[in-house]
Amino acid sequence: MKKPLMLRLLLALAFTFWLSACSDDDKAVTPTPTTFVVVHGAWQAPFAWQFVKKQLEDQGQKVVLVELPGHGADQTDPNTLTLNKYRDKVVAAINPLPGNVVLVGHSLAGMVISVVAEQIPNRIDKMVYIGAFLPANGQSLLDLANTDSTSQLSANIIPPIAPPTLGIPTPNLAGLFLQDGSAAVQQLLVTNYRPEPTLPFLDPAVLTAANFGKVNKYYIHTLQDHVVGYNLQRRMVRAAGVSHTYQLNSSHCPFLAIPDQVTSTLMTIAK
């Protein structure tokens, strides 16, 4: 074989190997999307997470927003609701999903994701509390709230006319939940307001070290929170032994006030 032909063949073979190697490298660095399962807090519904959802999905992630019974469009009788019914709704949302998830809970949903972790710890890669109640075994939301000396929530509660729900005067919603939000997102909060089912506030979380205790936990502090005070947040984090913490200089609802910072923090946690 003539040398020029041999050289061309060798060059072609080398180029083919180079293309194959590049293709393999591209496959190796393509990130696998994270599946975030997000549970909203009290007096809210999935609408509150719409901006963070879009931002995460724009970055190629998967997001499932869970609507708790008795919230949003769901008309479940509040007399029938319990913390475990909330748990079961979240577990049912996770079960059909492929792989493990990053489970995110805000406010009341800190109670919910805790009992979900007790039920299905092996399906949760990481658990993220954001301005959320973080119970120990046997504690209810009311137990924790009663230790919060800086919260403005109790002063804004309307005494229940119908015992299974609690209300907040709509003119007070923005100042309580979202004092740093734009007029548009404050109005979104008001427009979607519904009284909150009361009974799940009273249910103690049943948690064990073998299940709940083994899930990786992260806490995002909300420093200007009028609902779950920063001092209570820190006490709950210390009691639970959570070492991964982040801070947002925000109200109780940073996903409405500063969604880009919430998205960035969640992406950092997911890595």
pLDDT tens, position by position, 2-44: 445 444 544 444 444 444 444 444 444 557 999 999 999 999 9
Which secondary structure element, helix H or strand E, spans residue 231, and what is its range? helix 230-240
Q: Over range 228-250, report the average pLDDT.
A: 97
Token pair for 31: 């990130």
CA–CA separation, 222 vs 243, rounded Å? Answer: 16
CA–CA separation, 192 vs 49, rounded Å? Answer: 13
pLDDT digits 0-9 by tens, 114-153: 999 999 999 999 999 999 999 999 999 999 999 999 999 9
Domain assignments of the chain as residue spans, ordered by start: 1-30, 34-270
pLDDT of residue 31: 74
For residues 103 and 113, the answer to whether their CB atoms sit within 8 Å is yes
Question: Could you say which DSSP state residue 161 is in?
Answer: S
pLDDT digits 0-9 by tens, 194-204: 999 999 999 99
pLDDT of residue 159: 77
CA–CA separation, 69 vs 81, rounded Å? Answer: 7
pLDDT at 65 > cutoff 80: yes
**Phi, psi angles (nearest 5°) of residue 20:** -65, -40
pLDDT of residue 30: 58
Q: What is the pTM of this model?
A: 0.89
Q: Over range 82-110, report the average pLDDT.
A: 98
Max CA separation in the chain (angstroms): 97
- CATH fold, domain 34-270, is Rossmann fold (3.40.50)
pLDDT digits 0-9 by tens, 170-225: 999 999 999 999 999 999 999 999 999 999 999 999 999 999 999 999 999 999 99
Q: Over range 36-58, report the average pLDDT.
A: 98
pLDDT of residue 90: 98
| Model confidence band, residue 161 (pLDDT cutoffs 50, 70, 90) | low
